[in-house]
Amino acid sequence: MKPAFPLTTDVLALGEHVDLRAGQCVRPFSYAASPQTQGVFMTQTHSKSRQQAEIAFNDIQSQFSARGQAVQEPETEEQARQAKTLRLREARLARDAQEHTSR
């Protein structure tokens, strides 16, 4: 059965803030085609197993994000180390050049 109006799940395009109620996993939908239903939300409460699956999925995404940050930190440390090495090398070369000219 085809819905009477096309649905969109693009929450950002709606320009509305949707509150999530405690203990419920709510998915917002909006009817896109009809002017009478513009901005009307249809919420769907999911089963306990679906909520647990959503929580597990979010945990995995958090771990993936943490891994990405863990990879970026050593790169940042390496860049800082290289900058310090360059600064010290320039200071040493300047000191050596000054000693060489004072002789």
Strand partners, 41: 30
Q: Are 17 and 39 in contact (CB under 8 A)?
A: no
How do residues 23-71 score in pLDDT, each as one tens digit?
444 444 444 445 554 554 445 677 889 889 999 998 888 887 887 777 7
Domain boundaries defined on the chain = 1-45, 48-103
Q: Which residues contact 68 (CB under 8 A, 6 or more apart)?
A: none
Rank 3-17, 30-44, 74-88 by mean pLDDT and report only the highest. Answer: 74-88
Question: What is the Cα–Cα distance from 6 to 10, expressed in whole angstroms?
Answer: 12
Q: What is the pLDDT of residue 7?
A: 54
Residues contacting residue 88 through CB under 8 Å, at least 6 positions apart: none
78/73 Cα distance (integer angstroms)? 9
Query: How does residue 86 score in pLDDT terms, banded at 50, 70 and 90?
Result: very high
